[in-house]
């Protein structure tokens, strides 16, 4: 790079500047083009092929993979599981995150340390977290069933009941992502003007009323931001599902993202998987566009 | 960045102190207990207990794991699970692979992000706005949506079961570029212009002026990349099936598949400790930068 800069090209200082730009930004841009943009477009092309992973031959089937997916009753079950998983994880993360942020916003001793501890699961390996909780949920030797037994109760079979398996993955997902929402909400709570809350208090508004009528509406930009980001990551979650249930039992925890993986890398149906990936991408795109619209509006406000 | 998260704490403390002599109601002890301490305490315990359980269980003998009623603590710290985990899937090798992948991946990302962000802010180029837009859109492209095309490309290049095959597709960094560009835009132009008059080239200006004063932002990008590379699972899972080239999370699921029966939980928890504890230590020491960077998008909007 320094060779370019010291090269005797005095006659074209501007061109030299352009070349320096390319030398600096080029490698990164090349990687982004090769491994982010290229696969995105290629995936759409693959989705029109009947093609097994690793095979040298493929037949063009047009929209065949899509009609195959939409006409399969199993797909609707996958959509339902995806919907339940996304709604429950996003709802759980946001509601509990806000409650926790409100608590952290009080004059609690050791608040900074608590904030860090609560955030920690967010940075831990999904595989590791999944295994720790799978052990806790073990219907026979798990800590959870031991605690329930102390109270004379028996837990459901988290491993074999497909509905409870989904509940189990949802709980762990919320556990892992709760801290992120709490910290983001906490930052927003601290910018709620105190004089507004004081004025309402003087007018006789109780704690709950101030919370629902002042704090929550003022937090709505943050809520929308979190709604989008947690929805996007929930729709793409893979690690926990793969480690804890492998999409089972009987597809009970198979989300769209998980189906993309299974079809390509377990069943080897690369074209079919690419079609499902494209459907998932379309859903994610809608969510992202919503986010961008919102951000534009937010810029106008400020 | 560290200021964005810490400034509110200060203002809050001031605000709370101002509010302290409340006109009509004294802050009741009960309310601060129920509304503040109790939820925070419950949440902290709910986070800490599973991790403590992981650590404790990794030192239990197989007989203690499957003992009913449950034995909460092991009678003695039994290191055999770690020995067994290391023997079954050669955890030493996996640890080394993960360390290499993390170091090379995160290191390259930081360098590429620095160079790109510097170019976007300080070097003249006609289509700069377009370039930045492409980076910004790449930031929003879901990373795991197009697995098959990347898999076929890396496989064609001979990258299956290699460490470079694991690292290569993730090297481009839209996130790091975006974050550092924000930081560079906030720098006073005069500093860089002074160096320009002194005849320093762009690379010298980046290395000796721009990078040193942006150290906290660079640390944030580095730390988040480290966390991400260490935990990354789906791509290494797809591109390796030879245990010699797996990373720790992939090896952990290999261990999960090869150890059957409930008595194996001790071995699995030992493996999980090896995956989770390094990041936990990094987080404990440097959490300020990690939290700030990960919640950055929320703060900047």
pLDDT tens-place string over residues A130-169: 999 999 999 888 899 888 888 888 888 899 999 999 999 9
Taking the alpha carbons at both ends of chain A, their separation in whole angstroms is 41
Q: What is the value of ipTM here, to two decimals?
A: 0.88
Dihedral sign of CA atoms B128, B130, B136, B139 in order: negative
Distance from CA of B97 to the nearest CA of A (A): 16
Please report residues of A whose CB lies closer than 8 A to that of B5.
187
Q: Is residue B295 included in any domain, yes or no?
A: yes
pTM passes above 0.90: no
| Residue B90 contacts residue B274 (beta carbons within 8 Å) | no
pLDDT band of A11, cuts 50, 70, 90: low
Per-residue pLDDT for B242 more than 60?
yes
Please report residues of B whose CB lies closer than 8 A to that of A27.
112, 115
Using the Cβ of B268 and the Cβ atoms of chain A, whether some distance falls under 8 Å is answered with: yes
CB contact under 8 A, B252 and A128: yes
Q: Is residue B175 included in any domain, yes or no?
A: yes
Per-residue pLDDT tens over the stretch B23-70: 444 556 777 777 778 889 999 999 999 999 999 999 988 888 877 778
Domain count, chain B: 1
Please report residues of B whose CB lies closer than 8 A to that of A112.
9
Q: Is residue B39 included in any domain, yes or no?
A: no
Q: Residue B106 sits in which domain range?
A: 92-300
Using the Cβ of B269 and the Cβ atoms of chain A, whether some distance falls under 8 Å is answered with: yes
| Residue B169 contacts residue B154 (beta carbons within 8 Å) | yes
| Residue B113: CATH number of its domain | 1.10.3720.10
Per-residue pLDDT for A42 more than 90?
yes
The pLDDT > 90 percentage for chain A reads 57
Q: Is residue B286 included in any domain, yes or no?
A: yes
Per-residue pLDDT for A238 more than 90?
yes
In a 3-state reduction of DSSP, which class is residue A269?
strand
Per-residue pLDDT for B234 more than 90?
yes
Rg (CA), chain A: 25
pLDDT for res A297: 61
Span A116-143, mean pLDDT?
93
Q: Identify the residue whose tokens are 């959870």.
A: A144
Using the Cβ of B236 and the Cβ atoms of chain A, whether some distance falls under 8 Å is answered with: no
CB contact under 8 A, A132 and B234: no
- Nearest Cα residue to A45 out of A29, A34, A61, A32: A61
pLDDT for res A302: 32
Per-residue pLDDT for B231 more than 70?
yes
Where in chain A do CATH 1.10.3720.10 domains reside?
Answer: 64-301
Please report residues of A whose CB lies closer than 8 A to that of B16.
107
- If one compares A110 and A280, the residue with the highest pLDDT of the two is A280
| Residue B267 contacts residue B85 (beta carbons within 8 Å) | yes
pLDDT for res B15: 43
Q: Is residue B266 included in any domain, yes or no?
A: yes
| Residue A271 contacts residue A291 (beta carbons within 8 Å) | no
Q: Is residue B37 included in any domain, yes or no?
A: no
Q: Is residue B195 included in any domain, yes or no?
A: yes
* Rounded Cα distance, B208 and A228, in Å: 39
pLDDT for res A9: 47
- If one compares B162 and B146, the residue with the highest pLDDT of the two is B162
- If one compares A30 and A221, the residue with the highest pLDDT of the two is A30
* Rounded Cα distance, A42 and A45, in Å: 5
Per-residue pLDDT tens over the stretch A242-301: 999 999 798 999 999 999 999 999 999 999 999 999 999 999 999 888 877 776 665 443
Instruction: Point out the residue among A54, A146, A190 whose CB comes nearest to the CB of B70.
Output: A146
Report the residue of chain A nearest B143, measured CA to CA.
Answer: A36
* CATH number belonging to the domain at A64-301, selected among 1.10.10.10, 1.10.3720.10, 3.40.50.2300, 1.10.260.40: 1.10.3720.10
pLDDT for res A224: 87
Per-residue pLDDT for B301 more than 70?
no
In a 3-state reduction of DSSP, which class is residue A59?
strand
Per-residue pLDDT for B22 more than 60?
no
Q: Is residue B10 included in any domain, yes or no?
A: no
Rounded to 5°, the CA angle B55-B163-B131 comes to 105
């Amino acid at each position: 790079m320094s060779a370019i800069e010291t090269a005797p090209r005095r006659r074209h200082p501007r061109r030299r500047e352009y070349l320096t730009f390319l030398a600096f930004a080029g490698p990164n841009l090349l990687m982004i083009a090769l491994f982010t943009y290229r696969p995105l477009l290629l995936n759409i092309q693959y989705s029109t092929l009947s093609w097994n992973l690793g095979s040298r031959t493929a037949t063009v089937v047009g929209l065949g993979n899509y009609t195959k997916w939409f006409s399969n009753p199993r797909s609707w079950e996958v959509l339902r599981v995806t919907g339940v998983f996304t709604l429950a994880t996003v709802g759980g993360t946001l509601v509990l995150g806000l409650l926790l942020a409100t608590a952290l916003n009080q004059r609690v001793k050791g608040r900074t340390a608590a904030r860090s501890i609560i955030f920690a699961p967010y940075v831990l390996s999904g595989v590791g977290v999944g295994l720790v909780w799978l052990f806790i949920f073990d219907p026979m030797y798990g800590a959870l069933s031991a605690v329930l037994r102390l109270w004379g109760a028996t837990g459901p079979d988290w491993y074999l009941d497909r509905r409870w398996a989904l509940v189990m993955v949802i709980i762990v997902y919320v556990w892992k992502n709760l801290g992120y929402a709490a910290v983001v909400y906490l930052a927003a709570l601290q910018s709620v003007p105190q004089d507004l809350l004081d004025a309402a208090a003087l007018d006789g508004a109780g704690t709950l009323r101030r919370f629902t009528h002042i704090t929550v509406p003022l937090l709505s930009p943050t809520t929308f931001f979190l709604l989008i980001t947690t929805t996007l990551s929930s729709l793409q979650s893979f690690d926990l599902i793969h480690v804890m249930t492998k999409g089972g039992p009987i597809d009970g925890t198979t989300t769209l993202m998980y189906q993309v993986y299974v079809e390509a890398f377990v069943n080897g149906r690369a074209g079919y998987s690419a079609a499902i990936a494209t459907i998932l991408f379309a859903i994610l795109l809608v969510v992202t566009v919503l986010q961008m619209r919102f951000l534009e509006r937010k810029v106008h406000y400020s | 960045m560290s200021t964005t998260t810490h400034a509110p704490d200060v203002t809050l403390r001031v605000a709370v102190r101002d509010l302290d002599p409340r006109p009509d109601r004294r802050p009741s002890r009960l309310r601060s207990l129920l509304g503040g301490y109790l939820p925070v305490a419950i949440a902290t315990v709910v986070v800490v207990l599973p991790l403590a359980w992981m650590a404790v269980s990794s030192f239990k003998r197989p007989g203690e794991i499957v003992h009913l009623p449950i034995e909460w603590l092991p009678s003695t710290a039994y290191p055999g699970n770690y020995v067994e985990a290391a023997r079954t899937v050669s955890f030493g090798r996996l640890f080394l692979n993960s360390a290499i992948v993390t170091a090379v991946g995160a290191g390259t990302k930081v360098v590429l992000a620095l160079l790109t962000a510097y170019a976007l802010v300080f070097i003249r180029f006609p289509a700069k706005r377009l370039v930045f837009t492409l980076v910004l859109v790449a930031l929003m492209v879901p990373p795991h949506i197009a697995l098959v095309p990347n898999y076929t490309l890396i496989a064609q290049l001979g990258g299956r079961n290699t460490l470079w095959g694991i690292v290569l597709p993730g090297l481009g960094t839209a996130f790091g570029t975006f974050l550092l560009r924000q930081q560079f835009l906030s720098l006073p132009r005069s500093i860089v212009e002074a160096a320009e008059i002194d005849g320093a080239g762009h690379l010298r200006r980046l290395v000796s002026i721009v990078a040193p004063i942006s150290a906290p932002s660079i640390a944030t990008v580095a730390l988040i990349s480290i966390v991400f590379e260490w935990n990354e699972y789906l791509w290494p899972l797809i591109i390796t099936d030879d245990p010699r080239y797996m990373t720790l999370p992939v090896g952990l699921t290999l261990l999960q598949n090869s150890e059957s029966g409930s008595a194996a939980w001790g071995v699995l928890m030992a493996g999980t400790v090896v995956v989770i504890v390094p990041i936990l230590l990094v987080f404990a020491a440097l959490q300020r930068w990690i939290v700030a960077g990960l919640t950055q998008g929320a703060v900047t909007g």
